[in-house]
Amino acid sequence: MENIHIPVLMDPVMELLDIRPEHSYADLTAGDGGHTAEIAERLKGGLLISFDRDISALERAQARLSAFGDRIKFVHDNFKNLPAVLDRMEVTSLDGILVDLGISRYQLTTAERGFSIMNDGPLDMRMDRGQKKSAADLVNGLSAKELETILKEYGEERFARRISEAIVDRRRSGLFKTTAELAQLASRVKPKIPAYKKGIHPATQTFQALRIAVNRELEDLGVFCSKAIDRLAEGGRLLVITFHSLEDRIIKRRFQLEAGRCICFRPADMCTCHRIKRIDILTKKPIIPDEDEVRNNPAARSAKLRAVKRVKPSGKRGEVR
């Protein structure tokens, strides 16, 4: 098997999950199964559910981890459907949930999946190829304004307008089909990159933005965290690894809200936060990879791990959702 994903932050993940061999765990982003395997190694008779919305990724993980037999229950679904899947499996609560967001090395480097700036392939970017809209549909179908909003919001791209207008202009002579066509356009219309930023391809933010939009990666991410916390047993842990500031901000704020803190920053009598504490935050600051890990696996460089522990609810106002 080629292009195996190197799991990030393995030691802190295992320490914070604090696995007890007879308990129940879910790895919601199987990828190549690196974290799933480490959890499975530590279980004796417990339950391990491993999700991925990408059937090819899930099949690779299943093949790699076949030695564990039916100790791992693989689920092809979006992790946002966790509550329904647990209901179907008649699992009431979990003791640990891991979410390692983003895409795997296999997805990134397989040209046909269309995530890669460097390896030319169809402009696809769907994690789940059963989804209707691919990156080509967005690039060829949206207005310049809509594209600009996506590039600005999901890519934090300074030259969003310039790129979007160039995309719409270029469509007049033919629709976009490949990743190389889009990468070349971003390189052409963006100002030359200053020397200190060399090494980052000019299309990086455009590709990140489209990937997030195609897969609706940020949609309901905060709500999902609350639903995952609903399903944790007391003392159970939720760990989330993010790879860019947009995701990390959503996770951080949701954890603060669920820890009973105000995140609306209005005066106390106007605060709309529920102020019910359901978790303890275990990572005051996010855990990041050390120099050795980044040297061995440069893809880990922007990883941030946040972890919380479910506690008995306490607080003054509202109901626990």
Which residues contact ligand SAM by CB under 6 A?
Answer: 5, 7, 29, 31-35, 51-54, 57, 78-80, 100, 102-104, 127
- Assigned token pair, 181: 């066509």
Which of 166/307 has CB closer to ligand SAM? 307
**3-state secondary structure string across 197-226:** HCCCCCCHHHHHHHHHHHHCCCCCHHHHHH
Across the beta sheet with 24-27, the strand order is 72-76, 47-52, 24-27, 94-100, 232-242, 304-315, 276-281
Position with the least CB separation from ligand SAM: 31
Torsions phi, psi for 275 (to 5 deg): 55, 30
Sign of CA dihedral 232, 218, 3, 58: positive
CA neighbor of 309 nearest in space, from 279, 286, 283: 279
Q: Quote the least distance from Cβ 80 to ligand SAM, whole Å.
A: 6
Q: Quote the least distance from Cβ 10 to ligand SAM, whole Å.
A: 8
Q: Quote the least distance from Cβ 76 to ligand SAM, whole Å.
A: 9
Which of 53/309 has CB closer to ligand SAM? 53
Q: Quote the least distance from Cβ 231 to ligand SAM, whole Å.
A: 15
Q: Quote the least distance from Cβ 127 to ligand SAM, whole Å.
A: 4
Which of 58/160 has CB closer to ligand SAM? 58
Number of neighbours of residue 166 by Cβ within 10 angstroms: 18
Which of 104/179 has CB closer to ligand SAM? 104
Task: Using DSSP, state whether 50 is helix, strand or coil.
Answer: strand
Which of 58/166 has CB closer to ligand SAM? 58
